[in-house]
Structure 1
Amino acid sequence: MFHNVRAFWNQSFGIPHPSLTENNLPDQTDKVYLITGANTGVGYQLAIILYSRNAKVYIGARSEAKARSAIDSIMQLHPKSTGSLEYLHLDLADLNTIEATAEDFMSRETKLHWLNNNAGVMVPPVGSKGAQGIDLQFQTNILGPFLLTKLLLPILRRTAEAEPKGTVRVSWAGSLAVDVQTVKGGLSWKKDEDGQDTLDDSKGNSLNYGATKAANYFLAHEFGKRFGARDGVLHNSYNPGNLKSDLQRHTEAEWPAWAIWIVHKYMLYPAIFGAYTELYSGLSPDLSIDEQGVYIVPWGRRGGVKPDLVAELGKEGGSAEKIFEWCDRVTKQYA
């Protein structure tokens, strides 16, 4: 409990100024980035920063109209940029579509310097499911990003061969929920009809959301352990911060007006600050290839998670290993 209170305070109040922003980010000419969910919120703010420094940024989004609108607005903000903005169709809630998305990207590019699994959904209406009938949060926040990342490993590996080790990266979206909104050990498991361990979706929307964020913390470590050192790619995860974004659109429909007022006035920061956290995860020169799975907290600094999650790392049959194997088993038929 002490860790939870400390993590809540440390990641919510008195946060140090960001060390990497649009003001000191070096020129990004010839760099290629893919940001999922970049048509709005934190991802949109991050795309603005990268494009302003002449990067090529792919906007991964389900709605082409919304992505095109975001692209147009970013270009208007920085008309002198020599970078480019590209739309990439991405529906993380439908596993049938992910392979085509990865193939589309790799048909258009020969390199990828940073895959940022930024997109997510938080506590949607009870009973919401993805296209494959799995809990919508599990599909959008865990399974979709897992499959996309696995399919893009070859291009990440090739890019890393020509870049300094650890500068090619994959980042996974965590949350303060990793510390304050998860069961002991981060994930809850049940047996399916074949007797195999399956992520339990019966804990309710709030704990299911926390589970997806803990899963991403574990997946950053597992991808790093299994592929990172071999490929020269750094895998990490982050809590972007408590932010004003579209992510709260479902929760606010359920909360009383006074609670919403308090949260917005005292706890939520502009989305640009979350972009600084993510920018540090993806581009900070302070991070090295040896820091596989490193967890980044607002607004760009190394942090930690509660001890019972750390205990699962490297444990035979622990949740970190189980979540990778569960994702691999569920998504195998779609790759």
Structure 2
Amino acid sequence: MGGQWSQFFPPKPTYTEADLATQDGKVILITGGASGIGLEISTMLYRKNARVYIAGRSEKNARDAIQAIQAANPSSTGTLDFLHVELDDLRTIKSCADAFKAKESRLDLLFHNAGVSQPPLGSVSKQGVELQLATNCLGPFLLTQFLLPLLQQTASSAAPGSVRVIWTSSQMAELSAPKGGLIMDEIRSPPNDKGKNYTNSKTGNIFLSAELAHRHPASTSGIVSVSLNPGAAATNLFRHTPLLPYLAWPLMYTAKLAAHTQLFAGLSPDITVNNSGCYVVPFGRLADLRQDIVEGAKRKEEGGLGLAGEFWDWCEERTRDYM
């Protein structure tokens, strides 16, 4: 429980903008980059001259955010642009990836930052999948599939370990997931329990990160996969549970603080090709996951349960028609 306690009350960030070198020439895509943690990480990286793409459903919100970031950072030589994507509508994923590839010939960092938490019971995606599994897992999974070739191409000439895919999980995965991390029957037929479905989707993010590291080893692909608990931040993630930030206010932090967890996951030299699949906790520390979740992620031939592979296969099956 000591490790969980330190996530509730984290130490100060270990990797900040002061540690961040200029990002000239780096190209970064951030889902949900127009608000909350995503807005903060977009600002930090633009300030360091990166080419930042904010992907989301609302062009107005993104354009407003872009204008505000640019006005606050007039000396940046970076760029900011918008990409339309609706993670709960698989039909929009390919068009988002195609629009990005029409503008860029590299991709250094892919931040899967956007998500949804505990919408009304019965909420489903445009394809009829439980909304949290669809938004938090299927959309990011499919976007990664479309961008993998570009990530690999970039990694072939980039500094080793610098090309990364960042999957945003939650402390709820460790606090509430069943033994082994997932019960696949609950993925195939989600229960009438929005809290459990949220936890399943966040464990799913950990498993997708681990399985990406398995299927595309950093030693050969050059892509480093990282999952993280950013820390509890008062953002619009809680729009469906508006009382929660007030009830849990001693445990809530600013979006900027939580963005340092993302910054560490994306750019810290502590993460290399040798620890792809690692897990990061607030506000920027490598940590060990709950052991049974680690065993759930391991393949059966390695002595694990193979659940990460099963979940990946489920995501592949549910997105096949949209490839």
State the TM-score, normalized to the length of structure 1.
Answer: 0.92
Output the CA distance in 2 between the equivalents of 1:244 and 1:270: 6
Output the CA distance in 2 between the equivalents of 1:150 and 1:324: 11
> What is the alpha-carbon root mean square deviation over aligned residues?
1.4
**1:179 alignment partner in structure 2:** 174
**1:290 alignment partner in structure 2:** 274
String of CA shifts for 1:118-155, please: whole Å, max 9, x gaps: 11000011111110010010110000000000110000
Q: In the alignment, is the contact (CA less than 8 A) between 1:188 and 1:199 conserved in 2? A: no
Structure 2 unaligned segments of length 5 or more: list them: none
**1:85 alignment partner in structure 2:** 80
Q: Which letter maps to 1:318?
A: G
Secondary structure, in 3 states, of the residue corresponding to 1:11?
helix
Most deviating of 215-224 and 225-234: 225-234
**1:222 alignment partner in structure 2:** 211
Where has structure 1 moved over 4 Å in runs of 4 or more?
A: none
Output the CA distance in 2 between the equivalents of 1:117 and 1:310: 21
Secondary structure, in 3 states, of the residue corresponding to 1:251?
coil
Output the CA distance in 2 between the equivalents of 1:12 and 1:334: 39
Q: Could you say if the C-alpha distance between residues 203 and 311 of structure 1 is closer, same or farther in structure 2, counting changes exceeding 3 Å?
A: farther
Secondary structure, in 3 states, of the residue corresponding to 2:296?
coil
**1:209 alignment partner in structure 2:** 198
Mapping of residues 34-45 of structure 1, within 5 Å: 34-45=29-40
Most deviating of 38-47 and 201-210: 201-210
Matched, 1:312 2:307: no
Output the CA distance in 2 between the equivalents of 1:236 and 1:309: 15
Report the alpha carbon displacement of residue 203 of structure 1 after superposing the two structures with TM: 5.1
Output the CA distance in 2 between the equivalents of 1:260 and 1:25: 31
**2:27 alignment partner in structure 1:** 32
Output the CA distance in 1 between the equivalents of 2:181 and 2:241: 22
Identity, % of aligned pairs? 40
Q: In the alignment, is the contact (CA less than 8 A) between 1:240 and 1:297 conserved in 2? A: yes
Matched, 1:159 2:144: no
**2:315 alignment partner in structure 1:** 327
Report the alpha carbon displacement of residue 16 of structure 1 after superposing the two structures with TM: 2.1
Q: Which letter maps to 2:267?
A: L
Matched, 1:234 2:230: no
Matched, 1:243 2:236: no
Secondary structure, in 3 states, of the residue corresponding to 1:190?
helix
Report the alpha carbon displacement of residue 273 of structure 1 after superposing the two structures with TM: 1.1
Output the CA distance in 2 between the equivalents of 1:280 and 1:288: 12
Q: Which letter maps to 1:296?
A: V
Mapping of residues 55-66 of structure 1, within 5 Å: 55-66=50-61
Output the CA distance in 2 between the equivalents of 1:70 and 1:188: 39
**1:263 alignment partner in structure 2:** 248
Secondary structure, in 3 states, of the residue corresponding to 2:80?
strand
Output the CA distance in 1 between the equivalents of 2:265 and 2:310: 25
Q: In the alignment, is the contact (CA less than 8 A) between 1:187 and 1:199 conserved in 2? A: no
String of CA shifts for 1:193-252, please: whole Å, max 9, x gaps: xxxxx5331151001101111111111110011113221110010000011111111112
Matched, 1:9 2:5: yes
Q: Which letter maps to 1:65?
A: K
Output the CA distance in 2 between the equivalents of 1:109 and 1:261: 42
Q: In the alignment, is the contact (CA less than 8 A) between 2:223 and 2:273 conserved in 1? A: yes
State the TM-score, normalized to the length of structure 2.
Answer: 0.95
String of CA shifts for 1:67-115, please: whole Å, max 9, x gaps: 0011011011101110000101111000111111111111110000000
Alignment partner of 1:272 out of 233, 238, 256: 256
Output the CA distance in 1 between the equivalents of 2:35 and 2:53: 13
Report the alpha carbon displacement of residue 261 of structure 1 after superposing the two structures with TM: 3.0
String of CA shifts for 1:256-283, please: whole Å, max 9, x gaps: xxx653412x110000011100001001
Secondary structure, in 3 states, of the residue corresponding to 1:116?
strand
Alignment partner of 1:96 out of 91, 96, 100: 91
User: Number of aligned pairs?
Assistant: 318
